[in-house]
A and B are shown apart, each in its own frame.
Chain A
Amino acid sequence: MGLLSDPDVGSAKWVRVLKRVHGPVCFLCYVGALVWFVLLGHRDFNNETYFSENALLPGLVTNEFNAEQSASQYYNELLLELETKYEEMDVMPVSWLVGMMSHIHLEVYTHNFTLHYPLGRGQVFRGTNVYGILRAPRTSSLEALVVSVPYRNVGSHQKTTAAGIALMLAFAKFARPQKYWAKDIIFLVTQHDQLGMQAWLEAYHGLHNENEPFHASLGSFWKPGTPAFNMESFFPNIPLRRNHKKALNPGTLKGRSGSIQAAILLEFSTPQIRYIEVKIEGLNGQLPNLDLVNLVHKLCQKSGIHHSFAKSYSWIRGRDSMDEWKNGFWTMFEMVLGQIDGVPDGNHGLFHRFGIEAVTLEGRDELDPGGKVPRVNSLSFCNFYKLGIALESILRSLNNLLERFHQSYFFYILASTHRFISIGQYMPSLCLLCVAMLIRALSLWVTTLQQDGDYNDKQTKKVTTKSSKHKLEKAKDSDSEEPGEQETQEVKKVKTPEKKKATINMSVLNIGVNYLLLHLIGYGVMNTPFILSYYGSLYYNKPPEVSVYFGIISIAVLLIFITPFLPYMLRKGPITYEELSLVNILVLTELSTVCLSVAMQNFSLGFAIAVIYTPLALMTSVYVKGSGKARACVQLLKRVWCVCVHPLVVVVASMVAYSRTLVADDTWLATLGRGSDAAMQAIMFSVADSMLYGNWLFNLTTSVILPIWLIFWQILNIKVDAP
């Protein structure tokens, strides 16, 4: 920092070079980052996957699975049961499942959980999970594996999982008499998809006692009962957090096993599937260890099942390297897109936070949505035998594990089912974006410094404006008899006016208050859904998603109009050029820090933020009054662009684009309406996810990204006098 706060900094050669070239350099960094990212799909920039864990011994063992008959029997029985008894109801066939599991001689338990929906008028949902534990015959129950199927009733919009349940039961029947299990196997059927899974995991890990939301209590030193800042003491009438009651009450489990090492989730609606999609993305973009992903792909292949990951299909091979590059890029892109929202694409995503590696195997056929799958009709159908073989070999391999998965990568992007990009390879693209922002910040900093220097020169009546000459003079002075004294005088001369000037032109307090206030506003917006949904349902009788959506839109519009005037309310004099530049430097630093730190956990989200906001960050500059019409015009365009990348606008735009890809042959107006509806749902989901599962997206967007955007908006809208 000594270098950066040196008053002579303007004279250094690198500063002059930096000031001249920082624009093109930033641009090059931005383009370079995108090019780097695109290149990652190419063979030469990613790697073949490999096993790091020796203990897995994948596929060495002969398959003995022979329960395909019982699988189809279970399947037919279950379908019959559902048709006759549970057709219209949103209830799980608990008694049937318990009966079947007891018949296999598993230790069967049921688990009840309750959800007090935190938004709106507080509805209550109840659910039941059923699980059976196969105890390892020759060892103590210290470790466990989980095989789980989310139960989906016939009427739900998603496919049922009847075949998954049948397969799981048949496998349990086969596995029960085997003597080689070194870990317990828990066979679990959950209700209400992710909700049931979350409840079961929380109950399994004993998180039912705390009153805080789940994500606040896990891994923090915060103990319940610690005095804390309580918003409700200030606003007793507004139910801010529903008395800090946890929304999801996971209840307690009657039977437990050891620490869970890995989990495999099955989503098969029918045994006649064409291929298996291996889903890996978890909550907040967390991924399972690469070893587990490799294991599943390899054993699918060995069992003769076609498998895929995000449009990378095992039965499709690229014709040439260009083709492979294209496929690799799209797979990568698809994975990154899926990771941005941080919503798990299956129940496996909830395991990751507990340090449990998990994947979902989803059976698909040619009728599945999500784009056309090439040559899918030429694939042969799968059957219970093949699926059972695959499940058996996966579990026997997991059974060999001695430690938790830790050898292979946790941070990676897959370019196909068998190629990956490690964190060391993809991080540079994000770093380039952040470097662009930091270069911009540095150049702004040295520009302000030099202007200070110019100002000083004028004050000390020195004709020379260039600091190099100033330096020369200094050298001459030091040649005289008392160099030390001379120099100190010189320094004093320089310093006093600088101080004076600082008091005139720069008020760190004013900037700081403004900065802090905007972040507090962001924090406030983060907490609005409770209030919005409460009053929305109280006065307008609207469902929570509508009240939250329109509430947030109106807040956003209000903020757009208010924030440019906010700095004027806090101060007497006009805001100066130096102050606004400092704000600009601060916000650039903050944005790059946020992007990097978010990307440490969820690269896709960090990268997306960086890609969207770097152009804005680079083009934002302080507008000086009377700069001419051309500059004014440019400033206007910048403002328009700024509005275009408002977080809310980005959400709506991406939802419109998404619904366009889903239903391509629609009028634009209809697409717009559909997109808006989708955005409403998306915002509601992200709010609910943040409260129930601890998804960051909503919190991050409102409490960090929104304030940063507001600061950019301020900078673009304030006109200052020339320095």
Chain B
Amino acid sequence: MDLLNRIYCVLFTIATVLSLTYSIEIPEEFQKSNHSNNWAVLVDTSRFWFNYRHVANVLSIYRSVKRLGIPDSQIILMISDDMACNPRNPRPATIFNNAHEQINVYGDDVEVDYRGYEVSVENFVRLLTGRVPPDTPRSKRLLTDEGSNILIYLTGHGGDGFLKFQDSEEITSQELADALEQMWEKRRYNEIFFIIDTCQASSMYEKFYSPNILATASSLVGEDSLSHHVDSAIGVYIIDRYTYYVLEFLENVHPNSKRTMSEFLAVCPKSACLSTVGVRRDLFKRDPDKVPITDFFGSVRPVIITTDPIDILDTPKRKKKPENKTKSPVKREYLPQFPVHLVSNTKTG
């Protein structure tokens, strides 16, 4: 019985995988991506109650990428302040991203990886470059490889050439560019999609020089990025314009959607955003028109399709290595600190 069950199981899995691959048939015009996994780094850098909207921004994006299939283990969420538990919040333990207050984006299944004062420039750069202390838990590491597509989303207060972290420090565009270059050299990514929603946001990606990065920003240098609307029940600006329109777009994207990245890049025209959305595509090798949005927002599960029958009964036998067993461990000892043995050798010899 047991055996039979197993076989059915396997067969069923193969059948579903096959059917899935046929349903997500990639259209002809799409270029094939050679990434093998998807990661997301979502960062809110600003604290204080009046920056409620930044937390709402980042949680909305978090919710979207999670819905599109990136698992929590592959999302690094950094939130600088705890708006849900702020004593000023008239709706304790919730965060909304819309005045209608239909979706609590701070629901039960939110995993914040870096929170409060952990959100610092140092931690952010360490996270990106993988130079974390050895005792860092897996949830706080960006365990990417050369096959990873990474979505980086930053929101907060920015200026010309820097992004403010908390209320005390800032990361400059050069530092960020260098961190990404380190990632490239350490083969930590395949492609990066970089989104930033701050004032003068485009200044942050101008210094990038590493390949395979597609970057977009909510405003050009010299422009402010504005908020969308006020929730007068909570008494704060609830979401930023750019993120609002991004969300509106992402809500209509599903895991096997055929939307392209160029659609995403044109999501917020100047009439809606009031600021000009900046895009940088010279580092990106593929044509955004032919890149499906799910290359960054969705998730690729490593699935190997095989047509060969799998012989489950035949358990592979391990080769025995008798010579290893018989071999006694090599006795190791310290060398004398002063090379006396050499001296004596020369004497006798």
Contacts and interface: CB of A to CB of B under 8 A. Distances in A.
B235 A139 contact: no
Interface string A295-321: 000000000000000000000000000
Q: Nearest 9 A-B pairs (CB), nearest first?
A: A61-B235, A138-B87, A139-B87, A182-B87, A62-B232, A180-B90, A182-B88, A60-B235, A55-B50
Contacts of B88: 180, 182, 399-400
Nearest to A139: B87
B237 interface: yes
A63 to B, nearest CB: 9
22 contacts: A55-B49, A60-B230, A60-B235, A60-B237, A61-B234, A62-B232, A62-B235, A137-B87, A138-B85, A138-B87, A138-B92, A179-B90, A180-B87, A180-B90, A182-B49, A182-B86, A182-B87, A182-B88, A396-B235, A400-B49, A400-B50, A402-B50
A180 B85 CA distance: 11
B240 to A, nearest CB: 15
Interface of B: 48-50, 85-90, 92, 230, 232-237
Contacts of B49: 55, 182, 400, 402
A396 B89 CA distance: 11
Given A180-B90, A181-B87, A402 B235 contact: no
A139 B87 CA distance: 6
Interface in A393-428: 396, 399-400, 402
Interface in A362-412: 396, 399-400, 402
A11 B281 CA distance: 73
Contacts of A61: 232-235
Interface of A: 54-55, 57, 60-62, 136-139, 178-182, 396, 399-400, 402
A57 B52 CA distance: 11
A257 to B, nearest CB: 15
A60 B232 contact: yes
Nearest to A137: B87
Nearest to B85: A138
A182 B90 CA distance: 11
Given A180-B90, A182-B87, A57 B50 contact: yes
Contacts of A402: 48-50
B232 to A, nearest CB: 4
Given A57-B50, A402-B49, A136 B233 contact: no
A182 B49 CA distance: 11
Contacts of B89: 180
For B86, B230, B235, the residue with the greatest tally of chain A CB atoms inside 10 Å of its CB is B235
A182 B236 CA distance: 15
A402 B47 CA distance: 11
Contact of A57 (B85, B86, B90, B235): B235
A440 to B, nearest CB: 49
A57 B87 contact: no
Nearest to B52: A57
Contacts of A62: 232-233, 235
B91 to A, nearest CB: 9
Given A137-B87, A399-B88, 17 more contacts: A55-B49, A57-B50, A57-B236, A57-B237, A61-B234, A62-B232, A136-B87, A138-B85, A138-B92, A139-B87, A179-B90, A180-B87, A180-B89, A182-B49, A182-B87, A400-B50, A402-B50
Contacts of A57: 50, 235-237
Nearest to A138: B87
Contacts of A55: 48-50
A62 B234 CA distance: 8
A174 to B, nearest CB: 14
For B86, B88, B237, the residue with the greatest tally of chain A CB atoms inside 10 Å of its CB is B88
Contacts of A399: 88
Contacts of B87: 136-139, 180-182
A709 B188 CA distance: 81
Given A60-B236, A60-B237, A136-B87, A179 B92 contact: yes
Contacts of B85: 138
B68 to A, nearest CB: 33
A349 to B, nearest CB: 29
Contacts of B237: 57, 60
A382 to B, nearest CB: 23
A54 B92 contact: no
Nearest to B234: A61
B96 to A, nearest CB: 14
B155 to A, nearest CB: 16
A138 B232 CA distance: 21
A138 B49 CA distance: 15
Nearest to B231: A60
A178 B85 CA distance: 15
Contacts of A138: 85, 87, 92
A402 B232 CA distance: 20
B198 to A, nearest CB: 15
A399 B90 CA distance: 12
A136 B89 CA distance: 12
Nearest to A63: B232
A60 B90 CA distance: 13
Contacts of B92: 138, 179
A107 to B, nearest CB: 18
Nearest to A393: B235
Contacts of A181: 87
Contacts of B236: 57, 60
A54 B199 CA distance: 15
B138 to A, nearest CB: 33
A115 to B, nearest CB: 39
Nearest to A54: B50
A181 B90 CA distance: 9
A61 B236 CA distance: 7
Nearest to A136: B87
A66 to B, nearest CB: 15
A55 B86 CA distance: 14
Contacts of A180: 87-90
Contacts of A139: 87
A54 B52 CA distance: 12
A58 to B, nearest CB: 10
A118 to B, nearest CB: 45
Contacts of B50: 54-55, 57, 400, 402
Contacts of B48: 55, 402
A674 to B, nearest CB: 52
A196 to B, nearest CB: 31
Contacts of B235: 57, 60-62, 396, 400
A29 B264 CA distance: 65
Contacts of A396: 235
A400 B88 CA distance: 7
Nearest to A182: B87
A509 to B, nearest CB: 58
A55 B87 CA distance: 14
A55 B233 CA distance: 17
Nearest to B51: A54
A69 to B, nearest CB: 23
A601 B88 CA distance: 36
B239 to A, nearest CB: 14
A399 B86 CA distance: 12
A706 to B, nearest CB: 50
Contacts of A137: 87
Contacts of B86: 182
Contacts of A182: 49, 86-88
Contacts of B90: 178-180
